[in-house]
């Protein structure tokens, strides 16, 4: 069975959920091999987690340069392993960095880049959802190794036993003339909330929230549901909430199990980022708001009355 | 003098209904209004700021059909100096790999570039990888998803912002940069700028001028092929209630019914 390479997304020795989704998708195509790129010692920390999602092999590409330069060490590692293993496909998460890694790797391997897959099929084709979910597309690589970025949250992660046999990969030294040096990092301080694109529930606030202070009504509901917090472009542009939480055409695309829109009118720009959510609940004062056209359950009313009541109800049910 | 090239793409307006052609699954360019991608205006703005802070020349580079001239003129009217327009029927249906190679080839038409500035992600394809792929082909550093950029001599510093947080980057020119929405507020073209743009030089080139392998271009040459496309059935509106003081409770009941809580 051909190997399928998975680039491991990790922070401080903790593997991101999207990686488990990639390993699950990889197993439908062949034998899942995890590629860990990081500082010396990283593979040892993440090996058990990778084994529990069916990684048969764990390639460890470790060096100090691995975290000292942007994107290229990951491309180097994947290209090196691909050279030895002739994989059936390479899977990465469709994050900002993952998309860049996949694009560069496709150039390096003479392969095909398939972007932002929402499904990976056994025949090697992928499903995509484009124009904000208005079209479903099926595509595949006509030639070369397919390098696929998979949207976080699109594939359900399933546990499986893997041997996680470790193999060391020698990373070439980074060339500063060809790579940007990382001089500092400030990780997102997300607190205890799940990451927006990985969360199974997202609660978003819009212009209707009215101010930055009042956004706590959105946060409180999110926390009761164990959800991530999002914001519409209007709310971000008004300074109510930081831009990294923007959902929409120009922000994040999310497709959680449940999306709760509070005080969001539902402009096409916003819908493009959330309309593939499984269930949509909307609360808006304006009965004509377009968000109600796509909401599975809508409440015409004041979000400052409805959301706190819902927060209490959820808390009650969770006991 | 800093020689800056700004990549510009014409896209279907995100406010109009975007469609794909049924016959070959490519973008239906007739169905939607065509505009310069908003993020490109920020790329042009950043280039103009660098030029205005010192010395430089700003060249607009666009790959697209003839009517993409409108997007090029918009960038020129903001203050860019000249443009290179790669327009060739053979490009229709090209994938990202081919597009990156064509852009890299077209950079050869610009006399000694120092800095390439692009948007971080086009609003239509949302591939978000062309700047990185270009850096790969050119063998220069990528400083992408920049929310802040500073250039001191030939040292470029960028604050990169993604879902992972902020990463501080440094590299020497030549380099490829992509910018995010937060980088700046683009200027509006002045009347004078619009008039001047009509006279600025736009060099139109074809694939044959670029030294790119024609076998990799267009639909036939694409490594990534679309097998089928289908418009999604529109979401139907579900239940809607007025809040009579129990709106929150009703939502909770609905969520319980759907086994979501």
Q: Which of B162, B243, B228, B224 is nearest to A306 (CA)?
A: B243
B220 — contact with chain A (CB < 8 Å)?
Answer: no
- The tokens describing B60, both together, are 């607009």
In this prediction, residue A319 carries a pLDDT of 61
Q: Please give the mean pLDDT across all residues of chain B.
A: 93
Residue in B223, B229, B236, B241 to test binding to A, most A beta-carbons within 10 Å:
B223
SS3 call for B103: helix
A308 — contact with chain B (CB < 8 Å)?
Answer: yes
- pLDDT at residue A26 is higher than 70: yes
- Among residues of chain B, what percentage have pLDDT more than 70? 100
Contacting B residues, span 62-121, partner chain A, CB-CB under 8 Å: 95-97, 100, 120
Name residue, tokens 């990686």: A19
- Whether the CB-CB separation of B6 and B47 falls below 8 Å is answered with yes
- Among residues of chain B, what percentage have pLDDT more than 90? 77
Strand partners, A126: A120, A139
B251 — contact with chain A (CB < 8 Å)?
Answer: yes
- Whether the CB-CB separation of A277 and B218 falls below 8 Å is answered with no
| Backbone phi, psi, residue B226, to 5° | -90, 125
A116 — contact with chain B (CB < 8 Å)?
Answer: yes
Contacting B residues, span 143-202, partner chain A, CB-CB under 8 Å: 143-145, 157-158, 160-172, 175, 181-182
- The tokens describing B129, both together, are 């990888």
Q: What is the pLDDT of residues B199-256, one digit of tens each?
A: 999 999 999 999 888 899 999 999 999 999 998 887 888 999 999 999 999 999 999 9
Q: Considering just the CA atoms, what is the radius of gyration of chain B in Å?
A: 22
Query: How many other CB atoms sit within 10 Å of the CB of residue A173?
Result: 11
In this prediction, residue A288 carries a pLDDT of 95
Q: How many residues in chain A? A: 319
- Whether the CB-CB separation of B144 and B189 falls below 8 Å is answered with no
Q: What is the pLDDT of residues A35-46, one digit of tens each?
A: 999 999 999 999
- The tokens describing B224, both together, are 């990534």
Query: How many other CB atoms sit within 10 Å of the CB of residue B169?
Result: 26
Q: What is the pLDDT of residues A143-199, one digit of tens each?
A: 999 999 999 888 989 999 999 999 999 999 999 999 999 999 998 765 678 888 888
Q: Do A197 and B258 touch (CB under 8 A)?
A: no
In this prediction, residue A110 carries a pLDDT of 94
Q: Do A96 and B163 touch (CB under 8 A)?
A: yes
Q: What is the pLDDT of residues B119-169, one digit of tens each?
A: 999 988 889 999 999 999 999 999 999 999 999 999 999 999 998 889 999
Q: What's the mean pLDDT in A300-318?
A: 94
Q: Do B242 and A281 touch (CB under 8 A)?
A: no
Element (DSSP H or E) covering residue A215:
none
């Amino acid at each position: 069975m051909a190997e399928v390479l998975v680039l491991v997304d990790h922070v401080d020795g903790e593997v991101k959920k999207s990686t488990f989704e990639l390993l699950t998708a990889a197993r439908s195509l062949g034998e899942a091999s995890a590629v860990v790129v990081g500082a010396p010692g990283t593979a040892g920390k993440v090996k058990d987690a990778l084994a529990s999602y069916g990684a048969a092999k764990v390639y460890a590409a470790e060096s100090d340069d691995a975290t000292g330069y942007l994107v290229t060490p990951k491309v180097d590692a994947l290209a090196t392993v691909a050279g030895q293993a002739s994989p059936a496909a390479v899977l990465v998460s469709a994050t900002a960095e993952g998309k860049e890694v996949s694009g560069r790797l496709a150039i390096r391997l003479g392969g095909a880049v398939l972007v932002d897959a929402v499904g990976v099929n056994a025949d090697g084709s992928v499903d995509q959802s484009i124009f904000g979910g208005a079209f479903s597309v099926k595509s595949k690589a006509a030639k070369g190794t397919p390098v696929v970025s998979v949207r976080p949250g699109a594939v359900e992660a399933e546990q499986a036993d893997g041997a996680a046999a470790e193999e060391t990969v020698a990373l070439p030294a980074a060339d500063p003339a060809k790579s940007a040096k990382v001089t500092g990092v400030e990780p997102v301080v997300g607190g205890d909330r799940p990451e927006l694109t990985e969360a199974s529930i997202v609660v978003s606030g819009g212009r209707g929230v009215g101010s930055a202070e009042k956004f706590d009504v959105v946060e409180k509901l999110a926390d009761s549901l164990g959800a991530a917090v999002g914001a519409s472009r209007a709310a971000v542009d008004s300074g109510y909430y930081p831009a990294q939480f923007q959902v929409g055409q120009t922000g994040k695309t999310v497709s959680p199990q449940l999306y709760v829109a509070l005080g969001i009118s539902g402009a096409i720009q916003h819908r493009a980022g959330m309309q593939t959510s499984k269930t949509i609940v909307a609360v808006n004062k304006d009965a004509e708001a377009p968000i109600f056209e796509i909401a599975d359950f809508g409440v015409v009313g004041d979000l400052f009355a409805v959301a706190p009541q819902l927060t209490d109800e959820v808390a009650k049910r969770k006991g | 003098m800093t020689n800056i090239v700004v990549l510009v793409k014409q896209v279907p307006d995100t406010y109009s209904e975007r469609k794909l052609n049924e016959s070959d699954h490519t973008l239906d360019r007739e169905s939607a209004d065509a505009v310069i991608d908003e993020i490109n205006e920020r790329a042009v703005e950043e280039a103009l700021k660098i030029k205005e802070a010192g010395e430089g020349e700003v060249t607009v580079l666009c790959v697209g059909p003839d009517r993409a001239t409108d997007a090029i003129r918009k960038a020129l009217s903001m203050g860019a100096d000249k443009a290179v327009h790669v327009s060739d029927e053979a490009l229709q249906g090209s994938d990202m790999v081919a597009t990156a190679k064509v852009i890299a080839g077209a950079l050869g038409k610009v006399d000694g570039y120092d800095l390439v500035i692009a948007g971080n992600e086009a609003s239509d394809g949302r591939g978000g990888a062309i700047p990185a792929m270009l850096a790969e082909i050119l063998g220069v550093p990528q400083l992408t998803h920049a929310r802040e950029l500073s250039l001191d001599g030939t040292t470029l510093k960028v604050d990169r912002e993604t879902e992972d947080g902020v990463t501080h980057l440094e590299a020497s020119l030549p380099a490829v940069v992509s910018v995010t929405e937060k980088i700046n507020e683009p200027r509006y073209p002045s009347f004078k700028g619009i008039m001047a743009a009509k006279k600025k030089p736009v060099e139109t080139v074809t694939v044959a001028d670029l030294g790119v392998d024609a076998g990799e271009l267009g639909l036939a040459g694409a490594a990534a092929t679309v097998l089928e496309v289908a418009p999604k059935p529109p979401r139907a509106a579900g239940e809607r209630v007025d809040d009579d003081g129990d709106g929150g409770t009703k939502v909770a009941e609905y969520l319980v019914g759907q086994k979501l809580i």
